[in-house]
C-alpha cells in the first residue's frame, strides 16, 4: 500500500499489521466529495483483503479530520440527482462492507459528514480540542450520512436532538465525557499514536476472532438483546471450527505465546 500514489489520501504502514490512512485534501479542510470517497473506499477494500493488515487508523490533519460534505459539490444538486444516484450511500461502505477494525483519530474539525465518517469507525479516539458538530441545519438540510442515528445512539436522544437542532459544535473532551469517544488525548500527535497503539494490539490477535468480535458488537446495534445474545453464541460456537481457537487455548495451557494462523 505504501508505494501507491493517492490524490486525496496518504496511506502508510507505520506499525506491523497496521495501516494508517490520512485524509489529505488540505485546501478544503478535507471536505468529503465523490473522488475522495471513491479513493477511500478502494483503499479500505484493498486493506480489508490484504492479509498483512490487521487494523486501520483513519485520521485527517491537525486542523481537520474532515469539515463535512463538500458544500460546493452539493449546492446545485437536484432532488433527482440526489435520490436518483443515492447520494452519500457509498460513504457508508466503511460501515457496511469493511470487516477489519477501523479506528478514527479525530483532530481539528469533524463536522457534518466528517463527524459522521468518524462515527462510522469501530472505535473513535480524539484530542481534547477536536471540534465535532452536525451543522447541517445551518445549511437548510439535515445530517445525511447517519449522524441523526449514530450520534443519538452514542450520546442519547436529548443531547443529540439539541446538537442537531441547534447545529452547535462540541469539543473532543465533551465527545469523551458523553461516551462518543472511547479515549481523549491531550494533543493530536498523542491521539494518532494512541490509535496506532490500539490498532497494533488488535493486529496482534487472530484475524478470524477479530472479525467475529467486530461483527457481534455491531450486531448489538441492530438486534434486540435476546436475538443479539443468540447471534453472539452462534458465532462463538463457530469459532470452535477455527485453528486459532485451538492455538489460543493450547498456548494458554502451555504458558506460551500463541502463533496465530488466522484460519
Residues tagged active-site: 69, 113, 116, 136
Q: CB nearer to ligand CAA: give 72 or 82.
A: 72
Question: From CA 61, how far away is CA 59, in angstroms rounded?
Answer: 7
Q: H or E element: which one contains 10?
A: strand 9-15
First CA to last CA across the chain, in angstroms? 23
Q: How far is the CB of 149 from ligand CAA (least distance, A)?
A: 12
Q: How far is the CB of 170 from ligand CAA (least distance, A)?
A: 14
CA angle 8, 204, 154 (to 5 degrees): 60
For residue 107, the number of C-alpha atoms closer than 13 Å in the C-beta half-sphere is: 21
Q: What is the secondary structure of 77-130 as a DSSP string?
A: --HHHHHHTTTTGGGGHHHHT--S-EEEEE-SEEETHHHHHHHHSSEEEEETT-
Q: CB nearer to ligand CAA: give 100 or 109.
A: 109
Candidates 135, 130, 132, 111; CA nearest to 62 is 130
Q: How far is the CB of 107 from ligand CAA (least distance, A)?
A: 13
Q: CB nearer to ligand CAA: give 47 or 64.
A: 64
Q: CB nearer to ligand CAA: give 167 or 228.
A: 167
- Give the interface with ligand CAA as residue ranges (CB under 6 A): 28-29, 31, 67-72, 88, 109, 111-113, 116, 135-136, 139, 143-145, 147
Q: How far, rounded to the nearest angstrom, does the alpha carbon of residue 215 sit from its chain's CA centroid?
A: 14
DSSP state of 32: B
Q: How far is the CB of 257 from ligand CAA (least distance, A)?
A: 44
Amino acid at each position: 500500500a505504501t508505494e501507491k500514489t493517492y490524490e486525496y489520501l496518504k496511506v502508510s504502514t507505520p506499525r506491523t499489521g497496521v495501516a494508517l490512512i490520512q485524509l489529505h485534501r488540505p485546501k478544503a479542510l478535507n471536505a468529503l466529495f465523490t473522488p475522495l470517497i471513491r479513493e477511500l473506499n478502494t483503499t479500505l477494500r484493498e486493506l480489508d483483503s490484504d492479509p498483512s493488515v490487521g487494523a486501520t487508523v483513519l485520521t485527517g490533519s491537525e486542523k481537520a479530520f474532515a469539515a463535512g460534505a463538500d458544500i460546493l459539490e452539493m449546492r446545485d444538486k437536484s432532488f433527482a440527482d440526489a435520490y436518483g444516484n443515492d447520494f452519500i450511500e457509498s460513504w457508508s461502505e466503511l460501515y457496511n462492507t469493511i470487516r477489519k477494525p477501523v479506528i478514527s483519530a479525530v483532530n481539528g474539525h469533524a463536522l457534518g459528514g466528517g463527524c459522521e465518517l468518524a462515527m462510522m469507525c469501530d472505535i473513535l479516539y480524539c484530542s481534547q480540542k477536536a471540534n465535532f458538530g452536525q451543522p447541517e441545519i445551518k445549511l437548510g438540510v439535515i445530517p445525511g450520512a447517519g449522524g441523526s442515528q449514530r450520534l443519538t445512539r452514542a450520546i442519547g436522544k436529548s443531547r443529540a436532538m439539541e446538537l442537531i437542532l441547534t447545529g452547535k459544535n462540541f469539543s473532543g473532551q465533551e465527545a469523551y465525557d458523553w461516551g462518543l469517544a472511547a479515549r481523549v488525548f491531550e494533543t493530536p500527535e498523542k491521539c494518532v499514536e494512541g490509535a496506532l497503539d490500539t490498532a497494533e494490539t488488535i493486529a496482534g490477535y487472530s484475524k478470524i476472532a477479530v472479525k467475529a468480535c467486530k461483527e457481534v458488537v455491531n450486531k448489538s446495534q441492530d438486534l434486540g438483546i435476546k436475538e443479539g445474545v443468540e447471534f453472539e453464541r452462534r458465532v462463538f460456537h463457530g469459532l470452535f471450527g477455527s485453528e486459532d481457537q485451538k492455538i489460543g487455548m493450547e498456548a494458554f495451557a502451555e504458558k506460551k505465546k500463541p502463533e496465530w494462523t488466522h484460519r
